[in-house]
Amino acid sequence: MGFPTLQELIEEFEEEEDVVFLSVQTVFEGHRSNTAKKVRQAQKRYDLEIPMGHDPGRHSPRTWPNIMVNYRTGGTPWVIIIDRQGTVVYNDFHIDAQKATRLIQGLLTSRS
């Protein structure tokens, strides 16, 4: 899910208090150019008013970012959707806005 898709989903669910979006830059290459400062620049560029983090792993020795290890992710953009119980219901490379919308709406419908 790139930032334009994320923008679309944020707009779709902006009135839904049970849906929260956040973004984390996981740096597995390009440590000098993929910085926390660049995260903030992207946030401003795409007008994303959501929490955005930066997970560079350790620089010495270079290790994979914690999110990539803990959620077994691959490249970017990687999408993880977690339900209210903390269960990962989607964990894969990319998702289009329509599929994500259907999945999130299904979770909202099945909530207790």
Model pLDDT for residues 53-90, shown as the tens digit of each residue: 888 877 666 678 888 888 888 877 788 999 989 999 99
For residues 32-36, give the mean pLDDT. 76
Instruction: Considering only residues 111 and 52, tell me which one the structure prediction assigns the higher pLDDT.
Output: 52
For residues 10-23, give the mean pLDDT. 93
Are 108 and 13 in contact by the 8 Å Cβ rule? The answer is no
Q: How far apart are CA 74 and CA 83, in angstroms?
A: 21
The tokens describing 89, both together, are 């219901």
For residues 3-32, give the mean pLDDT. 87
The answer to whether the pTM exceeds 0.75 is yes
pLDDT averaged over every residue in the chain: 85
Domain 3-100, CATH class in plain words: alpha beta
The tokens describing 104, both together, are 């999130």
Flag whether pLDDT at 1 surpasses 60: no
Phi then psi for residue 77, to 5 deg, are: -80, 130
- Single-letter amino acid code for the residue at 44: K
